[in-house]
């Protein structure tokens, strides 16, 4: 057995105590009181009691000094006595250390009492070197004294125990904090419940007061009506009594009495009419058990105690760790309960923050999906390491916080070289999108065709082969408001209008059109055509009638795009012209700007997307609405763009770039 014996130093407690921690004069152990070690000027140490006895003997002999009992050097007796001598710091430290240090037990072999047991770290076995050589593993072995192994393991045990204690102390604090939070939330809920009770009592008291008020009003109205009737009765009665009394007292003749009798008879009929009370006394308060049941049901539905079984320590977050600056991302939080089961409902107080490299803390928006999951939306505005933190109930979820690395680079999410068949794209140039039919049209000039793709999944729908594309010269595409396609063919010197099947609807030829390479539809009265031979921009109407030239020369123009009735011209910069040729906006017009724009489009939100090339660097520049400088560039980091041309905005904040130099299409995100 090849073994390595590790040599260690083991101090014997008794030997160390005898040689270093006893007074050389009285041979007693040092302590911190009577036999405190005192350091003499000669650097020897003697206990306080011995020095006091020696000093007393010297004074009794009339001397003010004594000799060191070890080296016999003359030592002056301090004026304040022996106690003022400097204590021996090193000896005191050793005394304290040895008083705290446990006495180590050196394990010995039962057969060989003088042989210390050894421990093999490789085999994890204790053995005696005289009894046997123990090995269960091939290769080198590390052997140390068993006493040293015990001490090491004891230290490890104490260290682990200390770690465990710290964790338990932390657990105690966190549990206590949660109990305190429960008490606080309980008090808040009690206050809200009491507020609800107060409001309900106010509503009930208000309803009772309203009903009593209505009852009093109704009863008073009835009594007033009857009192008025009572007054009429009393007046009639008094009138009849008075007339009868007058008739009897005056002794009228028979004719007059007969007349009075006739009048009283008529009044009798009136009296019979007013004898019936105008109002009735019926008043009854009605309420049904159903209404009370409805009230009870409503009360049972008023207020709700929301609880959560979510355990933050088990809940997990799915987040992309490497993201691109200025793009929006969604992190998915899945909550899990204490049983390890995914929660099925939401409502948890989720808090999320994103800390920038500058230390700025941004709060993020959280969307509750009400199924136990939450969508956390975030976007970084600067590059560098960001810290993404998610908490529930103020407690961090599993593995939170997360480090998110933000870069300025972006690679294509999809790359298309073959479209539906084995025919590879060859010199693709222009691209347009029909948002109504969700179709993308690609001018595949090298193959003499127009490829039609489905916009969402970029799958092939159809291919157009026609005379407008057969000579590999169809370089410009545009879409009219009647969903027909305008194709600029420079070799034929014409603009073709096609339907989606490739059927020719119209052919526009004009003596002013020499070599059209780009076309853009703005309105029926404004179709812009770039003539590369003349380096001019012409304006035609939908019938092909010439309208005007834009003033000036346009040698660096690479693309045209119609937007809101105007024309965007892409060249050394991006300029927007009215149909009359007036420049109404200049984008990307920095003085130090270099390179050329070769494709441009505008999405539904007003973002301008433009391909740009300068020397060996080609990018897609993204402009916010009404901005004259790009927000950021898309560099296609892993697969560089080479002579990008057409660009279209796709659904879902994506864009498609026609990479002419690489004969392919690439898809990126821009929001």
Which residues, listed in sequence order, are joined to residue 614 by a DSSP beta bridge?
Answer: 617
Q: Please list the residue range(s) of the chain that carry CATH number 2.120.10.30.
A: 414-669
The bridge status of strand 384-392 relative to strand 373-379 is unpaired
* 188 φ, ψ (degrees, to nearest 5): -65, -45
Of 391, 301, 180, 366, the C-alpha closest to 188 is 180
Q: Which CATH number fits domain 316-407: 3.30.1360.70, 2.60.40.10, 3.30.70.100, 3.40.50.300?
A: 2.60.40.10
HSE, CB side, 13 Å, CA atoms: give it for residue 295: 10
Alpha carbon distance 599, 576 (integer Å)? 14
Contact 336, 309 (CB under 8 A): no
Tokens of 576: 């927007």
Q: pLDDT by residue (tens digit) across 614-639?
A: 888 899 999 999 888 899 999 998 89
Q: pLDDT by residue (tens digit) across 636-660?
A: 988 999 999 999 999 989 999 999 9
Q: Which CATH number fits domain 3-100: 3.30.40.10, 3.40.50.300, 3.40.640.10, 3.20.20.70?
A: 3.30.40.10
Going by pLDDT thresholds of 50, 70 and 90, the confidence category of residue 133 is low
Q: pLDDT by residue (tens digit) across 452-475?
A: 999 988 888 888 888 888 888 999
User: What pLDDT, on the 0 to 100 scale, is given for residue 603?
Assistant: 92
Residue whose entry in the numeric block shows the structure tokens 């009772």: 208
Mean pLDDT within 196-214: 90
Tokens of 520: 């853009």
Q: What angle do CA 51, 53, 58 make, to 5 degrees?
A: 90
Going by pLDDT thresholds of 50, 70 and 90, the confidence category of residue 253 is low
Mean pLDDT within 105-121: 74
Tokens of 277: 């009370």
User: What pLDDT, on the 0 to 100 scale, is given for residue 4?
Assistant: 52
Contact 125, 134 (CB under 8 A): yes
Contact 645, 598 (CB under 8 A): yes
Q: Please list the residue range(s) of the chain that carry CATH number 3.30.40.10.
A: 3-100
User: What pLDDT, on the 0 to 100 scale, is given for residue 136?
Assistant: 52
The answer to which of 3-12, 137-146, 426-435 has the lowest mean pLDDT is: 3-12
The answer to which of 412-421, 430-439, 534-543 has the lowest mean pLDDT is: 412-421
User: 414-669 adopts what CATH topology?
Assistant: Neuraminidase (2.120.10)
The answer to which of 240-244, 303-307, 448-452 has the lowest mean pLDDT is: 240-244
The counts of H helices and E strands in the chain are 6, 42
The answer to which of 122-126, 486-490, 652-656 has the lowest mean pLDDT is: 122-126
Going by pLDDT thresholds of 50, 70 and 90, the confidence category of residue 384 is very high
Three-state SS across 98-121? HHHCCCCCCCECCCCCCCECEEEC
Alpha carbon distance 579, 133 (integer Å)? 101
- Mean pLDDT computed over every residue of the chain: 85
Q: Please list the residue range(s) of the chain that carry CATH number 2.60.40.10.
A: 316-407
The single-letter DSSP state of residue 424 is B
Q: Please say if the pLDDT value at position 504 is more than 70.
A: yes
Longest dimension (CA), the chain: 175
Q: Please say if the pLDDT value at position 1 is more than 50.
A: no
Of 617, 629, 621, the C-alpha closest to 670 is 621
Alpha carbon distance 530, 540 (integer Å)? 11
Contact 132, 114 (CB under 8 A): no
Tokens of 318: 């799915």
Residue that wins the pLDDT comparison between 256 and 322: 322
The bridge status of strand 402-407 relative to strand 384-392 is antiparallel
Calculate what percentage of the chain has a pLDDT beyond 70.
92
Residue that wins the pLDDT comparison between 590 and 277: 277
In this structure, is the dihedral angle defined by the CA atoms of residues 414, 420, 426 and 431, taken in order, positive or negative? negative
Which residues, listed in sequence order, are joined to residue 29 by a DSSP beta bridge?
Answer: 22
Residue that wins the pLDDT comparison between 236 and 613: 613
| 510 Cβ contact partners less than 8 Å away, ≥ 6 residues apart | 538, 540, 544, 546
Residue that wins the pLDDT comparison between 322 and 149: 322
Alpha carbon distance 218, 211 (integer Å)? 10
């Amino acid at each position: 057995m090849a073994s390595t014996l590790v040599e260690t130093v083991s101090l014997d407690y008794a030997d160390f105590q005898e040689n270093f921690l006893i007074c050389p004069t009285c041979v007693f152990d040092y302590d911190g009181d009577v036999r405190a070690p005192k350091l003499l000027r000669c650097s020897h140490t003697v206990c306080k009691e011995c020095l006091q006895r020696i000093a007393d003997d010297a004074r009794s002999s009339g001397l003010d000094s004594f000799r060191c009992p070890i080296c016999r050097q003359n030592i002056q007796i301090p004026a304040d006595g022996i106690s003022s001598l400097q204590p021996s710091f090193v000896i005191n430290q050793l005394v304290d250390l040895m008083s705290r240090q446990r006495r180590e037990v050196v394990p010995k072999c039962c057969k060989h009492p003088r042989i210390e047991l050894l421990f093999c770290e490789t085999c994890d076995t204790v053995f005696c070197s005289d009894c046997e050589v123990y090995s269960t593993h091939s290769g080198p072995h590390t052997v140390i004294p068993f006493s040293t192994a015990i001490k090491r393991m004891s230290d490890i045990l104490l260290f682990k125990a200390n770690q465990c204690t710290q964790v338990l102390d932390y657990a105690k604090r966190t549990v206590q904090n949660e109990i305190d939070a429960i008490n606080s939330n309980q008090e808040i809920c009690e206050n809200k419940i009491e507020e609800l009770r107060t409001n309900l009592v106010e509503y009930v008291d208000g309803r009772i007061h309203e009903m009593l008020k209505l009852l009093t009003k109704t009863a008073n109205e009835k009594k007033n009506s009857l009192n008025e009737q009572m007054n009429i009765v009393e007046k009639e009665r008094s009138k009849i009594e008075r007339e009868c009394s007058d008739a009897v007292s005056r002794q009228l003749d028979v004719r007059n009495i007969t007349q009075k009798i006739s009048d009283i008879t008529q009044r009798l009929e009136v009296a019979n009419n007013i004898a019936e009370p105008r109002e009735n006394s019926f008043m009854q308060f009605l309420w049904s058990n159903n209404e009370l049941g409805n009230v009870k049901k409503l009360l049972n539905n008023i207020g709700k105690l929301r609880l959560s079984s979510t355990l933050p320590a088990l809940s997990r977050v799915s987040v992309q760790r490497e993201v691109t600056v200025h793009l929006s991302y969604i992190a998915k939080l899945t909550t899990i309960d204490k049983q390890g089961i995914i929660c099925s409902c939401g409502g948890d107080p989720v808090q999320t923050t994103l800390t920038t490299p500058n230390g700025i803390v941004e709060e993020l928006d959280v969307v509750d999906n009400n199924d136990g999951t939450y969508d956390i939306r975030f976007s970084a505005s600067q590059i560098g390491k960001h810290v993404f933190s998610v908490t529930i109930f103020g407690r961090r979820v599993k593995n939170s916080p997360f480090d998110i690395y933000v870069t300025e680079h972006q690679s294509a999410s999809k790359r298309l070289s073959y479209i539906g068949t084995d025919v590879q794209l060859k010199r693709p140039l222009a691209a347009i999108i029909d948002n109504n039919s969700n179709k993308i049209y690609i001018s595949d000039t090298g193959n003499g065709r127009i490829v039609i793709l489905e916009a969402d999944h970029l799958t092939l729908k159809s291919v157009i082969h026609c005379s407008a594309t057969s000579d590999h010269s169809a370089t410009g595409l545009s879409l009219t408001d009647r969903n027909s396609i305008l194709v600029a063919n420079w070799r034929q010197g014409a603009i073709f209008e096609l339907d989606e099947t490739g059927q020719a609807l119209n052919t526009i030829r004009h003596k002013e059109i020499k070599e059209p390479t780009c076309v853009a539809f703005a309105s029926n009265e404004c179709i812009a055509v770039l003539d590369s031979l003349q380096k001019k921009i012409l304006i035609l109407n939908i019938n092909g009638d010439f309208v005007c030239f834009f003033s000036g020369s346009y040698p660096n123009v690479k693309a045209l795009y119609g937007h809101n009735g105007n024309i965007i011209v892409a060249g050394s910069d991006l300029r927007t012209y009215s149909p009359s040729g007036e420049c109404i906006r200049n984008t990307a017009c920095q003085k130090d700007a270099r390179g050329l724009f070769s494709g441009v489009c505008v999405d539904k939100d007003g973002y301008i997307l433009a391909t740009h090339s300068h020397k060996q660097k080609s990018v897609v520049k993204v402009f916010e609405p009404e901005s004259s400088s790009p927000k950021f560039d898309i560099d296609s980091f892993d697969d560089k763009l080479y002579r990008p041309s057409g660009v279209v905005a796709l659904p879902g904040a994506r864009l498609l770039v026609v990479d002419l130099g690489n004969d392919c299409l690439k898809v990126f995100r821009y929001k």
